[in-house]
Amino acid sequence: MLVKRRKASEVSSEQNAYLRSLKQHTRKIMAGRFLLLATFLLLWEIAARQKWIDAFIFSSPSDLAETFWDLLWNGNLLLHFGITLGETLLSFFISTFLGICIAILLWWIPSVYEVTEPYWVALNSLPKSALAPILIVWFGNTTKTIIIASVSLTIIVTILTVLNGFQSVEEEKVNLIYALGGSKSHVMVKLLLPYNIPVIMNVLKVNIGLCLIGVIIGEFLSARAGLGYLIIYGSQIFRMNWVILSILILCVLAVAQYQLLLWVGNKISNRFQ
């Protein structure tokens, strides 16, 4: 009993030491990231003040901060941000839901995929931005066009990636469920979906970025509000601070969305372990 207690205490101390080292490593990484960002902003500000770069074209952190507060209180910045965020989330949920459903259908009826495979490949290789002018003619200069443009950018990738994940599951495991009296629905619910959670989470991480890109492309062409509209309008009237600030906000939004999906993915993975 004494030996077992000593071994347990040794394991516990080693585990605590490992956890402390892991926390220290995380702090160092976060400090390094903050230091890198602070250095970049400082050099950017110095370069603008010393006229090493043209502040009218490249702006500066202090000018961007002033522009941010001005747009926040007087320029409907929250409205533009909210519209872009809403369009991104809506297109993300639509493309992900439809993509997974279509992938399930193609796995469920293999003959459908065999017939349509060349068309999926052709649609996947098609430059989606080329569809935007056509979509404007078909659906008009509305929010619907922006959503459809964003969905078209992500849904094919979702379908092919998830379907490939379904097809990569070992056939022996599928046959075992059938041998035990299971049906296709049992294979899907008990095997394919849980097995492909990492694949689906990776698809979500890719989709959230592609949906944001699709929304911005749509707002460039057919929008009266949103961060994409603010970028185009700012460039037309030579308000470069508006353009650069909108781009920085998009970067922050993309990182925040990715980190949120990463956190959700870790929670889901831990639940199924």
pTM of the predicted model over 0.75: yes
Q: How many whole angstroms from its chain centre is CA 189?
A: 26
Burial class (CB in 10 A: 0-12, 13-18, 19+), 208: buried
Residue 67 and residue 250: Cα distance in Å, rounded? Answer: 16
Report the CATH architecture of 59-272: Orthogonal Bundle (1.10)
Per-residue pLDDT of the chain (273 residues; tens, 9 = 90+): 444 455 545 556 777 777 788 888 888 888 998 999 899 999 999 998 888 888 888 888 999 999 889 888 876 888 889 999 999 999 999 999 999 999 999 999 989 888 988 888 888 887 777 777 787 778 777 788 888 888 888 898 899 999 999 988 888 888 888 888 888 888 888 888 888 888 888 888 888 888 888 888 888 877 788 888 889 888 888 888 999 999 999 999 988 988 888 888 777 766 655
At 109, the amino acid letter reads: I
φ, ψ for residue 189, nearest 5 deg: -75, -40
Q: Which residue has the tokens 């889901």?
A: 268
Residue ranges covered by each domain of the chain? 2-53, 59-272
Going through the chain in order, the beta strands assigned E by DSSP cover none
Task: Supply the pLDDT for residue 2.
Answer: 46
Do 243 and 251 form a contact (C-beta atoms < 8 A)?
Answer: no
Contact (CB, 8 A) for 212 and 273: no
Task: State how far the Cα of 102 lies from the Cα of 120, in Å rounded to an integer.
Answer: 12
